[in-house]
Structure 1
Amino acid sequence: MIDNGNGLSMHVLEAGFETPDRPCIVLLHGFPELAYSWRKIMGPLADAGFHVIAPDQRGYGRTTGAPASFDADLDDFAFPNLVRDVLGLVSALGYRSVASVIGHDFGSPVAAWCALIRPDVFASVVMMSAPFAGPPVFAFNTAQGDGRLARVDITASLMADAVAALASLDPPRKHYQWYYSGPQANDDMRHAPQGIAAFLRAYYHVKSADWTGNQPHPLASVTADQLALLPTYYVMHADATMPQTVAEHMPSAEAIAACPWLSDQELDVYAREYARTGFQGGLNWYRCGTDARHSAALRTWSGRTIDVPSCFIAGSSDWGVYQRPGDFEAMRVLACRDFRAAHLIEGAGHWVQQEQPRTVVSRILRFLRRDAPAI
């Protein structure tokens, strides 16, 4: 456990710590995951010469110090404070700079914000599964009435309108991020009728390449009709909980036994931790994302870009690449000034570093050795 100087005692997994003076890599997990989600790639990255650290992030697992209730102060879970968590951790471990910060799922935008806010510390960034479109921006030159030069953050506004319009579809739908932001989601999942282990098994399965229904493609526009093309684990039926949604796709006993990337023993690590802690710590992150007040606060960095070398990795069967129309393109063209590569890995869905760890390690090392500067 490491005191990160920002109110947390952080549970951290490490590899490659035996040899001093190695360059450091920080791995940031997403939801509903843990530092344990990086178990398949930490050893190979350490074998390649790095000190690899993977914390349970704020509100997750065995990291303590963050109230995980629904009435917690959401400022604690906003991106600037999550960056402070990571900065404090690497400082406590004796690093003034790290070779790369790598984030998956909700860890991806945290990694991106680390690189954007503190490029002097985070020398490169790898975003996985969730594209980063850049900070929300202020409208430009509106005082002069020059609409041609106005640059506004219309995607967020369109997304909010499209999400609201989902309720008017037949049958009515709802967006999972807004469901996760509600007061009932934690109890729904912590007390899933099928049990936490079975709930998580179905959840991990349906978002993986093992579920043949995952055939992702870019959406044409930010509208309710287009969002409704997303699988129900993203755009749910209005009257369904998440455990009910994924229960329809529970894999057979034979499929579970044959799953090469998530054994029952590995699944049990997640199930035991979430049975102990609940899900609210991670859900508070979503509440920041759907709260306009927190989005507005991020305009402090309006116009800022990620200037350190960057790349993107995802599974070719991952709908997360396209769930916010336009973000993938904005990441490559607008948000990152030194974007090196986008890798969509065959045979992987959303849990790419668990489903195809060897390929993920290969792509990370190729990026670090050939593209990112030595530090």
Structure 2
Amino acid sequence: MNMIPLPAGIRSRVLKGINNGAFHILEAGAQSADSNNLVLLIHGFPELAYSWRKIMLPLAAEGYHVIAPDIRGYGRSSNTDVQYSDDLRPFSTLNKIQDMLALVASLGYRTVRAVIGHDQGATLAGWCALSRPDIFKSVALMSSPFRGAPAALPFNTTNVQAAPIKQSQITEELAMLSPPRKYYQHYFATEAANNDMWQAEQGLKKFLRAYYHMKSADWSENAPFKLKDLLASEWEKLPRYYVMDLDKGMAETVLPAMPSTQEIKSCQWLPDHELDFYISEYSRTGFQGGLQGYRNNPYDKDLAIFAGRKIEVPSTFIGGEKDWGIYQTPGGLETLENELCTHYQGTHLIKNAGHWVQQEQPEETSKLLIEFITKN
């Protein structure tokens, strides 16, 4: 495996025997005497623990022991050799929570000062905080608003007939648009998605360069705004990387947004030598381990045990001002702010940042996270 191009002060190691798997982690800082200084960083898709490289040292400088794992199915952790047809049990939300619990315990911690999740990792961080507030003492959600536990279970239906539940027809409605469209998460759940990206016609490097560019503040067409409702007529306003043309895969979708040679040279937040590490890892593993998180996992039905439960620890949301991901679920951010969290401490949208906020604007991201963690 290639060496990881890490800043001095960030360490790399693999921990074995963690919930029947091995987990590669990046680490900065050290455990304090009172063992109340652990900060856990959970990456999204298609990223790695490496995506936190720019904020780990600022957090460690404040006295925190900072760890960032490659989540199961990613990078140098277990289950990267997964196939589409394999058992989805290891990728269930409850098992991923158990991964984080086992990882934290293996390091000699009984509590986590803050769990911080970005993109797909925000979902896992949200579930960690919701399900085990005794361990995860605060949570920062980044770029993707956590959608919360299932709604409260049907109540008093023995005595009063329940109103019928209206099923969403958004998939069918998107397909009827001109041109026909589809939601990217539905595409990510298909068997074709992995090879479409891994074996992209333009090559893996050009695919990832275009994908990261198109969702960043560098892409001039990213000027997000709130959508009125979950309607096809509203969703079609989203960029193609969220609501794709029905007949295209993601590699073909992002190709027109490939940045110029000059744009690549001027990209300070992701220069070629850093992108090359993502390329080396994903060329080896493919994307299926991450894509499993977008599947309709039958084992996630067990999350109904948390129906109606809210996040009761201090919480915050941080995103990029140019990030459409904040608004892809109409009303999602407002629900997080007003309903899902009982101790919400504010929303922060960072200027000149798109979806990859902790890489695009690490100084401001670090500042906000330090302020949040310190006061909690």
Q: Please report the TM-score for the alignment, with normalisation by the length of structure 1.
A: 0.93
Residue aligning to 2:121: 107
- Alignment check: 8 A CA contact 2:92 2:300 kept: no
Query: Between Structure 1 and Structure 2, how many residues are aligned?
Result: 361
In the alignment, is residue 281 of structure 1 matched against residue 289 of structure 2?
A: yes
Separation in 2, partners of 1:112, 1:349: 21
| Residue 143 (structure 1) shift | 2.9
Separation in 2, partners of 1:136, 1:338: 20
State which of 202, 213, 219 in structure 2 corresponds to 1:211.
219
Separation in 2, partners of 1:208, 1:153: 38
State which of 57, 60, 65 in structure 2 corresponds to 1:43.
57
- 5+ residue gaps in structure 2? 1-13
Mapping of residues 74-85 of structure 1, within 5 Å: 74-85=88-99
Separation in 2, partners of 1:262, 1:111: 25
Residue aligning to 2:72: 58
Residue aligning to 2:16: 3
Separation in 2, partners of 1:169, 1:322: 20
Separation in 2, partners of 1:65, 1:242: 23
Q: Deviation per CA, 1:320-344, whole angstroms, max 9, x where unpaired?
A: 1111112111111111111111101
State which of 137, 141, 149 in structure 2 corresponds to 1:123.
137
- Alignment check: 8 A CA contact 1:7 1:66 kept: no
| Residue 146 (structure 1) shift | 6.7
Separation in 1, partners of 2:238, 2:365: 25
Residue aligning to 2:177: 169
- Alignment check: 8 A CA contact 1:308 1:337 kept: yes
Q: Deviation per CA, 1:85-127, whole angstroms, max 9, x where unpaired?
A: 0000000011000100000000001001001111111000000
Residue aligning to 1:227: 235
Separation in 1, partners of 2:17, 2:51: 21
Separation in 2, partners of 1:44, 1:223: 42
Separation in 2, partners of 1:83, 1:205: 31
Residue aligning to 2:323: 318
Separation in 2, partners of 1:313, 1:350: 10
- Alignment check: 8 A CA contact 2:80 2:288 kept: no
Q: Larger % of helix: which?
A: 1
State which of 21, 30, 34 in structure 2 corresponds to 1:17.
30
Tell me which moved more, 102-111 or 74-83: 74-83
Separation in 1, partners of 2:283, 2:53: 21
| Residue 294 (structure 1) shift | 4.8
State which of 353, 357, 361 in structure 2 corresponds to 1:356.
361
State which of 319, 328, 333 in structure 1 corresponds to 2:338.
333
Residue aligning to 1:201: 209
| Residue 75 (structure 1) shift | 2.2
SS at match of 1:143: coil
Separation in 1, partners of 2:337, 2:31: 37
In the alignment, is residue 268 of structure 1 matched against residue 267 of structure 2?
A: no
- Alignment check: 8 A CA contact 2:31 2:38 kept: no
**Paired amino acid for 1:6:** N
| Residue 296 (structure 1) shift | 3.6
Separation in 2, partners of 1:133, 1:336: 11
In the alignment, is residue 304 of structure 1 matched against residue 309 of structure 2?
A: yes
Q: Deviation per CA, 1:241-281, whole angstroms, max 9, x where unpaired?
A: 10110001001000000011000000001011000000000
Q: Please report the TM-score for the alignment, with normalisation by the length of structure 2.
A: 0.92
**Paired amino acid for 2:125:** A
Separation in 2, partners of 1:108, 1:78: 15
**Paired amino acid for 2:281:** E
Separation in 1, partners of 2:81, 2:159: 46
- Alignment check: 8 A CA contact 1:4 1:85 kept: no
| Residue 134 (structure 1) shift | 1.3
**Paired amino acid for 2:348:** H
| Residue 4 (structure 1) shift | 5.0
- Matched residues, percent identical? 49
Separation in 1, partners of 2:216, 2:201: 22
Q: CA RMSD in A?
A: 1.7
- Alignment check: 8 A CA contact 2:117 2:142 kept: yes
Q: Deviation per CA, 1:27-76, whole angstroms, max 9, x where unpaired?
A: 00000000000000001100011000000001000002465210121122
Separation in 1, partners of 2:242, 2:170: 14
